Amino acid sequence: MINLKLLESNFDEFNKKLKAKKIDEILLKNLVDTFVTLRKERQELEALQAMQNTKSKEIGELTRKGADVSGLKDELSKNKEALAKQNEVVRELDEKLSKIADNVPNIIDDDVPFGDDENDNVCIKTVLTPPSFDFTPKAHYELTSELDFERGAKISGSRFTILRGDMAKLSRALVNYMIDFNQSRGFELVNVPFFVNSNTLYGTGQLPKFENDLYKVADEDLYLIPTSEVPVTNIYNDEILDESALPIKFTCYSACFRKEAGSAGRDTRGMIRQHQFEKVELVSITKPQDSDRVLQEMIDCASDLLTSLGLAHRHMLLCSGDLGFGAAKTIDLEVWLPGQNKYREISSISNTRDFQARRAKIRYKDGKKNALVHTLNGSSLAVGRTLIAIVENYQQEDGSIAIPEVLKRYM
């Protein structure tokens, strides 16, 4: 959740950054109007409370002197009634503001470029050179029958795929290699449930705004996870951590489930965009002063993993209009896909600052006081897209597919 105190401390900058993130103008107007009204009503409440205290003291002093205080008691009684009504007004406005804020995205970092969509993202680094071919390279869905789209659709519907034989082996090899690689970089392996409750999804920002993208269990407060970021970040939901334990760095394999409600007509061929896919995730929980450094560690980890697989990729700084709901800053890694003759996202590494921590109530003991942590998350990597990248980049003219050296012992 956004820090509503920023509305008061830096109103113009706050609004500017929210507008840059393409927030709905009606939502922003409701947020601002409700905040302004609440501030006015709080001031009225404070005035009534001050009057109650003043008159109570005055009655005490006059009573000790033996003076008649009946008139003052009548005033105090009326003020008490007004105070109770004003308390209710403020409580309702507080509740209204909180509900509005649940749907307001995180504000952007100062170094995030303003822009409308992915066309305004900024390439900050390229790694390795895309391979050249003496033949016309094919897309992954043209290269092997072991990616069985037809039977996947038969048993589950569109955007589901069956992996068979060597493709299934390659997928498993990638998962094991990614986990080992991330552990070597200091990320602790965790295994988490694939089902979570609504409080957990609220903590990382999927609810209430993105409920239509989730698969829900009927008649139960359980949802299939859209990414393991959700359960892993919430491991410390409503807990106070010891400062010495930070940073906490996790890696986790999971299946992920998304309705992809807004992607109709996009990437309908192959397995670029699926309702069920596998991912190895990185999640970090840090002190605020360490989160920039940890973000770079996570970017380096994912990028070095791609480099070790011999896959050309680039680092993209997302503009304000392309940032996710909870992200203050995101670096996407885009891998080269010869079959499409373009770079495609394979990892998205984000710093949410204290946005998720405020919702999930994740704090740490900072001296004598409790403070919110910063949470970060990133793909390392999307397994299916990494498999696609290997199939397309390592294809041979005879239709066979070579295997990166680092994966051979996993095959």
User: What is the DSSP track for 197-265?
Assistant: -HHHHHHHT-TTTTGGGS-B-TTSS-EE-S-THHHHHGGGTTEEEEGGGPSEEEEEEEEEE---TT-TT
* HSE toward the beta carbon, residue 147, CA cutoff 13 A: 20
> pLDDT tens digits for the chain (411 residues)?
888 888 778 888 888 999 999 998 899 999 989 999 999 999 999 999 998 898 888 888 888 888 887 888 888 888 889 999 999 999 999 999 999 999 999 999 999 999 999 999 999 999 999 999 999 999 999 998 899 989 999 999 988 999 999 999 999 999 999 999 999 999 999 999 999 999 999 999 999 999 999 999 999 999 999 999 999 999 999 999 999 999 999 999 999 999 976 556 666 677 888 999 999 999 999 999 999 999 999 999 999 999 999 999 999 999 999 999 999 999 999 999 999 999 999 999 999 999 999 999 999 999 889 999 999 999 999 999 999 999 999 999 999 999 999 999 999
Q: How far apart are the C-alpha atoms of 226 and 213, rounded to whole Å?
A: 8
In 3D, which of 18, 42, 45, 44 has the Cα closest to residue 29?
18
For residues 360 and 232, is the Cβ–Cβ distance under 8 A? no
Does 254 count as an annotated binding residue?
no
Does 8 count as an annotated binding residue?
no
**pLDDT given at position 66:** 82
Q: How far apart are the C-alpha atoms of 139 and 155, rounded to whole Å?
A: 24
Does 227 count as an annotated binding residue?
yes
For residues 247 and 298, is the Cβ–Cβ distance under 8 A? no
> In the chain, what are the domain boundaries?
24-101, 118-410
**pLDDT given at position 205:** 96
Does 352 count as an annotated binding residue?
no
Q: How far apart are the C-alpha atoms of 121 and 331, rounded to whole Å?
A: 10
For residues 227 and 281, is the Cβ–Cβ distance under 8 A? yes
Does 92 count as an annotated binding residue?
no
297: phi > 0 → left, psi -120 to 50 → alpha, else beta; which? alpha
Does 228 count as an annotated binding residue?
yes
CATH 3.30.930.10 applies to domain 118-410: yes
**pLDDT given at position 262:** 59
**pLDDT given at position 267:** 64
> Tokens 């005055």 map to which residue?
58
DSSP letter string, 165-198:
HHHHHHHHHHHHHHHHHHHHTTPEEE---SEE-H
Q: How far apart are the C-alpha atoms of 70 and 18, rounded to whole Å?
A: 54
| Residue 19: strand, helix, or coil | helix
Does 132 count as an annotated binding residue?
no
> In 338-402, which ranges are E strands?
342-351, 362-366, 369-372, 374-382
Q: Which amino acid is at 102?
A: D
**pLDDT given at position 268:** 66
Q: How far apart are the C-alpha atoms of 270 and 158, rounded to whole Å?
A: 10
Q: Which amino acid is at 208?
A: P
For residues 56 and 76, is the Cβ–Cβ distance under 8 A? yes
- Please give the structure tokens belonging to residue 387: 């498999």
First and final CA of the chain: distance in angstroms?
A: 44
- Kindly report the number of other CB atoms within 10 A of residue 400's CB atom: 10
Does 259 count as an annotated binding residue?
yes
Angle at 95 between CA 93 and CA 96, to 5 degrees: 60
**pLDDT given at position 12:** 85
**pLDDT given at position 199:** 98
The alpha carbon of residue 215 and the mean position of all alpha carbons in its chain are separated, in whole angstroms, by 18
